[in-house]
Amino acid sequence: MLPVRPLGPVDLSACLDLGADRDWPREHRKWSILLDVGQGFGIDAPDGGLAATSILVETGPVASISMVVVASRYERQGLGSRVTAHAVEAAGDATVFLHASDFGLRLYESLGFVADGGCEGHIGVLADDGGPASRPITPSDVARVYSLDAGAQGFTREALLDRLLFEAEHVHVTDDGFAFGTVLDGVTVIGPVVAPDEEQARALIRGIARAAGGRIRVDVDLAQPGLSEWCRASGLLPIGPAPRLVHGGRPLPGEAARRFAPYNRALG
């Protein structure tokens, strides 16, 4: 049986090649961030490169699993199950969640994951409706962002936020909310979006969209249908839902009503 081994930044090129084998875009920045903040796991292919990968990111009592990829020539050999189960085991007592594609849903359910909401992507150029907008962050806002995030997530994750703040091209705030805008593959991905209500969530999206220009993407939580409707009415095309599953059906901590969008589908 081919062993599962740790992955690190040195494996970035092989990870990109594996993703390309499954027609994934070569998201250099996304893989780089995840390999830096998380634990990567991989199975080497006997004929070269990687046969399978997964990445686990632990923050406080919660852990996310992402980038579960199996080379096309090694599919249906149980490798996806092995790298996912390895990540779950490495998470210990943490509450583990992931966002799934329709293709991977049965695999994750077979490993004990239970459906718990999800998100739907919206992409395009936001039509400016002239509504109120957020403002760029200042140094005096950073502690408040930490506090707002801790309330929404149910725990503090300042180290992860520091890395995401460093990566983001745009960080905006409102009276009681914040959002990041990070350019991935030529699109400004807006998330997390943390706000007390839909009005401030819209203001955050407007503010970053105006500052960034061009195409944006927002993965709106399925529990926020009003924001999804507004995104579509504002010219953003839906690109399909991604179910969120939690291992063992354990509840995720925090104030779910304040979480309008995750950072991306790999991180909450």
Quickly state the pLDDT bin for 121 (edges 50, 70, 90).
very high
pLDDT, the chain, mean = 95
Which of helix, strand or coil describes residue 140? helix
- What tens digit of pLDDT does each residue of 198-257 get? 999 999 999 999 999 999 999 999 999 999 999 999 999 999 899 999 999 999 999 999
Taking a C-beta distance cutoff of 8 angstroms, is the pair 97, 116 a contact? yes
Domains of the chain, first to last: 4-93 (3.40.630.30), 121-240+255-261 (3.40.630.30)
Can you give the pLDDT at residue 264?
Answer: 86
Quickly state the pLDDT bin for 267 (edges 50, 70, 90).
confident
Give the tokens for residue 89: 């085991």
Can you give the pLDDT at residue 202?
Answer: 98
Q: Is the pLDDT of residue 167 over 80?
A: yes
DSSP secondary structure string, 68-115? EEE-GGGTTSSHHHHHHHHHHHHTTTSEEEEE--TTTHHHHHHTTEEE
Quickly state the pLDDT bin for 50 (edges 50, 70, 90).
very high
Calpha distance 39→48 (Å, rounded): 22
Quickly state the pLDDT bin for 185 (edges 50, 70, 90).
confident
Quickly state the pLDDT bin for 101 (edges 50, 70, 90).
confident
Quickly state the pLDDT bin for 191 (edges 50, 70, 90).
very high
